[in-house]
C-alpha cells in the first residue's frame, strides 16, 4: 500500500513513461495478466491504455489487474493506468 508521498513520487516518474500495453475488445485475460506481471517485474512502473472498444472503463480495468497481479494502482487518468510493483529480488525504484 502506497502513501501519498510515495504515490506522488511515482506519478512524477510516470510522466515520461510510454504506454507499453493496451486493453481492447479482448478484455483482460490470462495473457494480459501475464504480460502485466512480466512487465512489472522488469520495469516496476508501467503505463497501460484502455481503448475505447474495451468492455472495461479504466478504473474497472485497473482494479481487476491490480487484484490479479498484486500490484498498486498509482493513478488512473482518462484512459491511462499507471501501475507499480517493486521487484522482490532487485528493487530499482527506491521509495522512502
Domain ranges, ordered by start, for the chain = 4-84
Q: Which residues contact 35 (CB under 8 A, 6 or more apart)?
A: 21
pLDDT of residue 72: 97
For residue 30, the tally of other CB atoms under 10 A from its CB is 8
pLDDT of residue 60: 96
Judge whether residue 1 has pLDDT over 90: no
What average pLDDT score do residues 68-87 get? 97
What is the average pLDDT score of the chain? 95
Residue 23 · residue 61 · CB < 8 Å: yes
The grid coordinates of residue 4 equal 501519498
CATH topology of domain 4-84: Translation Initiation Factor IF3 (3.30.110)
54-69 confidence digits (pLDDT tens): 999 999 999 999 999 9
Judge whether residue 15 has pLDDT over 80: yes
Predicted confidence band of residue 29 (pLDDT cuts 50, 70, 90): very high
pLDDT of residue 96: 73
Residue 17 · residue 47 · CB < 8 Å: yes
Amino acid at each position: 500500500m502506497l502513501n501519498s508521498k510515495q504515490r506522488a513520487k511515482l506519478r512524477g516518474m510516470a510522466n515520461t513513461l510510454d504506454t507499453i500495453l493496451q486493453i481492447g475488445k479482448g478484455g483482460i485475460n490470462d495473457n494480459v495478466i501475464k504480460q502485466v506481471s512480466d512487465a512489472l517485474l522488469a520495469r516496476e512502473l508501467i503505463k497501460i491504455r484502455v481503448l475505447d472498444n474495451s468492455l472495461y472503463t479504466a478504473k474497472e480495468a485497473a482494479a481487476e489487474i491490480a487484484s490479479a497481479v498484486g500490484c498498486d494502482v498509482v493513478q488512473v487518468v482518462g484512459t491511462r493506468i499507471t501501475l507499480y510493483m517493486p521487484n522482490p529480488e532487485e528493487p530499482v525504484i527506491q521509495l522512502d
